[in-house]
Amino acid sequence: MTVVETPRPTPAPPDVRGRLRLPDRGYRGILAVAAALVAALAAWFLVSIIIQAKPAFSTLGFSWILQKTWDPTHGKYGLLPFILGTLEVTAIAVVLAVPIGLGTALALAYLVPARTRAALSTTVELLAAVPSVVYGLWGLVVLAPVFRDTVEPFLTSVLGWTGLFNGPDQGVGLLLAGVILFVMILPTMVAISRDVLAVVPNEQLEGAMALGATRWQVLRKVVVPGARTGLLGAFTLATGRALGETVAVALVIGNSPYIAHSIKSPAATIPSLIVNNFGEATGTELAVLFGAGLVLLVIGIAVNSVARWLVWSTAGPSAGATAR
Amino acid sequence: MTVLVDLPADPTVERRRAVQAAAASSLRRRKLASTAALGVCWVFLAVAVVPLVAVVAYVVAKGLPAWNADFFTNSTVPEGIPGGGVWNAIVGTMVITGIAIVVTVPLGLLVGLFLAESEGRVAAALRFTADVMTGIPSITVGIFGYIAIVRNYGYSGFAGAFAIGFIMLPVIVRAGESAFRGVPTSLNEAALALGARKATIARRVVVPTALPGVITGVLLAVARGLGETAPLLLTIGGNQYLQWNPTKQMAALPTTIYNSSSQPYADQVQLAWGAALLLVVVVLVLSIGSRLLAARLRKERR
């Protein structure tokens, strides 16, 4: 809000003016204190995690982050299986969510009739608010048996030659966790993608149509390129959400501290490691869990900063402000 | 079109003709490709909607049978004993979320007002901080709650409220800012011209005008805070008994769902579905209610 300073027509005596301005100063002061409080809170958050994680780095160095063996009783704290698990699960979710999310957003923004569009868009946005633990419950109780008995045998018989599907069909594992994450991040991705697709100027669409382009050509050559940066932001934001998801993944991934050799294998992610081991951990192990949280935080903040910057530069700072 | 014999061909006409010929010759192929690609978009829309609707349908179908008198009045019972409820978890969630709301809504809205009135680097940095805070992995917020509160004062409802508040705060800040920014500058200038002070303008002009947006934002933040599980797992400790006192260990709905869903007992899983339905209903009512309320306030104003 810009307030234009206008010269005061009849200057009041200095002491009166000072008294008049006092409430304004108080008001600005309260706002500034509130703002400083939030900044301090953010700093406290970062500093306290770094300080608590420090013992892990001072006693073990940095090499544990990339070691393979997790065996706290013998003092081995290799984080690699969990980093890989986090990346693999996220990759499955994103590979599914990018084409399907983009197709859905295009359909919602340009194909669906206006009346249905509002209802469908609202439904998708509402589903973004469903708590992740509910998706986890559904994945564990409903989807896991279906995966074990139907989906995994089918995929193994069709794609078994790739070697990605070795091992027994267990239901819980990387694949199921990835699929649950995909379902979870889809509403976020669709809602933001639709917003950034909708801001492509109408003149450009009409121009392309006047040149004889088909509807798909307009979407592919005008709309998607026009919204490119924002779409990238939406994808990155969804990726960030997938990386940090804890409970939904912890319920369906099987929680095995070994590097997965198949897409069906049970595995673990950094958040699931923390939540499963936090209760009993003490001493070095606790510091290592804080350290694992720090590693996750660094990845998460990096991904999110990039995403916010990309979305801002397309659709302005208010786009997706309340989206997760 | 007749071509005059002795004149060189007009390049513009030639060019247009070539483009038209190319467009016509590829028209059938392009139309086919368009139909196919748009068909894929429709299929993707269906693929996206089906699992999302399936989740809600399952929660309703499996959760409703769990809703009986015991469910809403009893506390959780040990595994294997029938007849437990989630009253302790409902109370825990109400107390924890209530504390988080009381602290973060005023604070968040003040900061939103600050951001809406400020330009420049400090504001931009704070805005960016708030945005990054919304994306922080929730498990690390749980770690923060553990380090900041649990280590010094033990597991408690307050520790949970601290973590949930940390998650809600940036959402309220950003929602508040965008609502306050939506207030027309002309209203501000009119109030200034009448000699109103900034504090008065904020109280009498900006906040009332922005109220629909503010309410929507706050309710969305509350909906998000209600469902957060991971931070609570590291901070509230859990409690099988009814506990209203936030300085003690508490139960909460999301952690009850999490802990019960992986139990081998059918009763426990049933309880998890019931709690999931309750949580989904509350969250959806808040989300839908905030939209309706905002739409209504906007209409009245017009």
CA separation, residue B211 to residues A263, B14, B218, B301 (Å): 49, 62, 10, 11
Q: Of the candidates A293, A306, A41, A189, which has an alpha carbon nearest to the alpha carbon of residue B128?
A: A306
- How many Å apart are CA B139 and CA A117, to the nearest integer? 35
Q: Would you give per-residue pLDDT tens digits along chain A (324 residues)? A: 455 555 555 555 555 455 556 667 788 889 999 999 999 999 999 999 999 999 888 888 888 888 888 888 888 888 899 999 999 999 999 999 999 999 999 999 888 888 888 888 888 888 888 899 999 999 999 999 999 988 888 888 888 777 778 778 888 889 999 999 999 999 888 988 988 888 888 898 899 988 888 899 999 999 998 888 888 888 888 888 888 889 999 999 988 888 888 888 889 999 999 999 888 888 888 999 999 999 999 888 888 788 777 777 765 555 544 444
Q: Mutating which of B19, B134, B143, B260 best tests the A interface, going by the most A Cβ atoms within 10 A?
A: B143
Token pair for B146: 């553990």
* Structure confidence at residue B268 as a pLDDT band (50, 70, 90): confident
Query: How much is the pLDDT for A323?
Result: 46
Give chain B positions within 8 Å (CB) of A97.
Answer: none
Is B49 within a domain? Answer: no
Q: Of the candidates A180, A191, A189, which has an alpha carbon nearest to the alpha carbon of residue A235?
A: A189
- In DSSP terms, which residues pair with A122 in a beta bridge? none
Is B109 within a domain? Answer: yes
Q: Is the CB of A275 inside 8 Å of chain B's CB atoms?
A: yes
Structural domain for B147, as ranges? 67-301
User: E strands within chain A?
Assistant: 70-71, 76-77
What are the tens digits of pLDDT across the range B132-171? 888 889 999 999 999 999 989 989 999 999 999 999 999 9
Q: Mutating which of A214, A224, A289 best tests the B interface, going by the most B Cβ atoms within 10 A?
A: A214
Is B48 within a domain? Answer: no
Instruction: Report the pLDDT averaged over residues B248-264.
Output: 88
- For residue B3, pLDDT beyond 60: no
Query: How much is the pLDDT for A305?
Result: 80
SS (H, E, C) B248-286: CCECCHHHHHHHHHCCCCHHHHHHHHHHHHHHHHHHHHH
Average pLDDT, chain B: 88
Q: Is the CB of A107 inside 8 Å of chain B's CB atoms?
A: yes
**Amino acid, single-letter form, for residue B183:** V
Query: How much is the pLDDT for A61?
Result: 83
Query: How much is the pLDDT for A50?
Result: 94
Is B179 within a domain? Answer: yes
Is B20 within a domain? Answer: no
Q: Is the CB of A319 inside 8 Å of chain B's CB atoms?
A: no
Is B74 within a domain? Answer: yes
CA separation, residue A247 to residues A298, B145, B271 (Å): 20, 17, 17
Q: Is the CB of A99 inside 8 Å of chain B's CB atoms?
A: yes
Query: How much is the pLDDT for A137?
Result: 93
DSSP A215: H
**Amino acid, single-letter form, for residue A45:** F
Token pair for B57: 């349908």
CB count within 10 Å of CB B50 equals: 11
Task: Evaluate whether A67 touches A79 at the Cβ level (below 8 Å).
Answer: yes
* Structure confidence at residue B74 as a pLDDT band (50, 70, 90): confident
Query: How much is the pLDDT for B240?
Result: 81
Provide the shortest C-alpha distance from residue A219 to chain B (in Å): 9
What lies within 8 Å, CB to CB, of B142 at 6+ separation is: A275, B163, B230, B231, B232, B233, B234, B235
User: Given an 8 Å threshold on Cβ–Cβ distance, is B227 in contact with A130?
Assistant: yes
Give chain A positions within 8 Å (CB) of B142.
Answer: 275
- How many Å apart are CA A307 and CA A157, to the nearest integer? 38
Is B114 within a domain? Answer: yes
Is B174 within a domain? Answer: yes
Query: How much is the pLDDT for A176?
Result: 94
- For residue B302, pLDDT beyond 80: no
User: Given an 8 Å threshold on Cβ–Cβ distance, is A246 in contact with B136?
Assistant: no
Q: Is the CB of B34 inside 8 Å of chain A's CB atoms?
A: yes
Residue B164 maps to which CATH number?
1.10.3720.10
> What domains, with CATH codes, occur in chain A?
82-315 (1.10.3720.10)
User: Given an 8 Å threshold on Cβ–Cβ distance, is A108 in contact with B230?
Assistant: no
Query: How much is the pLDDT for B105?
Result: 95
**Structural domain tally of chain B?**
1
Query: How much is the pLDDT for A324?
Result: 42
User: Given an 8 Å threshold on Cβ–Cβ distance, is B226 in contact with A187?
Assistant: no
